[in-house]
Chain A
Amino acid sequence: MWLSLIVLIPLAAVVAKSTDHGWSGFWHAVSSRQAVSALILTLICSLLVAVINAVMGTAIAWFLVRDDGLPRIVRAPLNAVIDLPFALPTIVAGITLLSLYKNVAFTRAAIVLALLFVTLPFVVRAVQPVLIELDREMEEAAASLGASATTTFRRIILPNLTPAIVAGAALAFARAVGEFGSVVLISGNIPFKSQVSSVYIFSQVESDNPVGASAVSVVLLAISVVVLLGIRRIGKAR
């Protein structure tokens, strides 16, 4: 039980701090123009990243599991490389992207790029095992009944994969909302333009405004908790 204390006490401190100046102080900090614009940017970028991940992650998982036309020597290294974003420090991820894509630096596109990098493994690793387990007989039956490849994919395969895709995309979304290290350099941290919430929180801490930082943190915390509970529900339904 002590473990729950280690996690909960610090987070409780954040929640307590956010209401130091009462409810109105909390509301004031959360609804400041800069905080709101950072939050909106964070949510839009994260949603976009979750959607791209859902599509590309499924395609990559399909490629790794089902494309047996390519020799193993090509697929095995690609399979190993998927975990690279988990192993690579996020600040290094930011630097590497910055070195190649200098022209998009300090824009919103750069933020999306960095978030795509760090969240790449989630959907792939969620869909891959399901795809391996998936019964090919169903697909063969559909094909023998005259379904085209597209119809088979849409009506047979996709419904089986959907829970995994959604769970993976939700994890990617949660991660993207809180991501800091990869974004901090590449976004340039320009208020109202390319400042995401995590960087905003950091700048509030640096300028000695713990109440404002805590208030925005509470909003992000609430989003994380909701997403985590949602993923749990999908897991149970499966």
Chain B
Amino acid sequence: MTRRWGLRLVVIAYLGGLLLAPVGLVFYRTFQHGFSEFWDSITTPAAIHAFQLTIELALIAVPLNAIFGVAMALALVRGKWRGKPLMEAIIDLPFAVSPVIIGLAMLLVFGRQGWIHLPFQVIFALPGMALATVFVSLPFVVGEVAPVLHEIGDEQEQAASTLGATRWQTFRRITLPSIRWGLAYGITLSVARAVGEFGAVSVVSGHIAGKTDTLTLLVQSRYENFDVKGAYAASALLAVLALGTLFVMTLTRREDT
């Protein structure tokens, strides 16, 4: 019995000390001087712009990754082609590679002396940041949808097509409904990553205040300029977004099982 309590105490103390206490403290620090101060801090022109930019990047990256993630998962699970195991390993790479390296890679490909030259500015501008965000959130939808596709098998899809359904009809009526929870979970993870991305975007953005600062970059620049309160406020805003995401994650996970 005492051993059981020992384990409980250790686990609760660990989670409390590592997760709950720090996050709680940031909220406390943010709101200890009242809500209006927090509100002023997140409604400065720079903060509003950063918020808009963060949402914009997520709106670009997440739909792209949802569509191509599903297509990729279908190709990986249903398709038969050479190099599939290699492909699966490649898909996982953005998970394991440091975001700084991803940012550096973008810089080398699209930068001034890069491999690819486009007629518009990519690096230190929105397109580059969008590309970096797409890159880092690439594996989530594939990773969540592929196992579900595996599990449901393709019998229903075959049945549908023998009954004369077109490929698009089969996908829309059979495949999509059965992968919807996996897809929802993958999209939620993508949103969290896209909103919270820091390393890759930080390399690519060039930190132009009021222009290419996202919320996460704003947190850093405020902290480094000794505006600790402002950094806490922006952090609290991001943490609220994260808690919302977490809530959706638990919901979609529960429906899944």
Contacts and interface: CB of A to CB of B under 8 A. Distances in A.
Interface stretch (A4-12, A26-34, A137-145): A4-12
A228 B114 contact: no
Nearest to A173: B96
Nearest to B200: A180
A100 interface: yes
Contact of B99 (A14, A116, A178, A221): A178
Interface in A164-191: 171, 174-175, 177-181, 184-185
Interface string B183-215: 000000100100111110011000000000001
B109 to A, nearest CB: 5
Interface residues of A, number: 73
Interface in A111-129: 113, 116-117, 120
Nearest to A10: B105
A80 interface: yes
Contacts of B114: 13
B19 A224 contact: no
A6 B19 CA distance: 35
A4 B84 CA distance: 11
Contact of B101 (A14, A60, A70, A228): A14
Interface in B199-257: 199, 202-203, 215-216, 219-220, 223-224, 231-232, 235, 238-239, 242-243, 245-246, 249-250
A120 B90 contact: no
Interface in B87-126: 87, 89-109, 114-115
Interface stretch (B6-14, B149-157, B159-167): B6-14
A89 B18 contact: no
A75 to B, nearest CB: 10
Given A95-B219, A117-B18, A88 B72 contact: no
A205 interface: yes
Contact of A95 (B11, B21, B72, B223): B223
Interface in A78-112: 78, 80-92, 95-97, 99-101
B96 A174 contact: yes
Contact of B245 (A3, A87, A197): A87
Contacts of B25: 96, 99-100
Given A87-B192, A89-B238, A9 B109 contact: yes
Contact of B90 (A8, A116, A202): A8
Interface of B: 3-4, 7-8, 10-12, 14-15, 18-23, 25-26, 29, 68, 72, 87, 89-109, 114-115, 134-135, 138, 189, 192, 195-199, 202-203, 215-216, 219-220, 223-224, 231-232, 235, 238-239, 242-243, 245-246, 249-250
Ranked 9 nearest A-B pairs via Cβ: A178-B98, A89-B196, A10-B105, A181-B198, A180-B199, A96-B22, A224-B96, A13-B108, A87-B242
Interface of A: 3-4, 6-11, 13-14, 16-17, 56, 59-60, 62-63, 67, 69-70, 78, 80-92, 95-97, 99-101, 113, 116-117, 120, 149, 171, 174-175, 177-181, 184-185, 197-199, 201-202, 205, 210, 213-214, 217, 220-221, 224-225, 227-229, 232
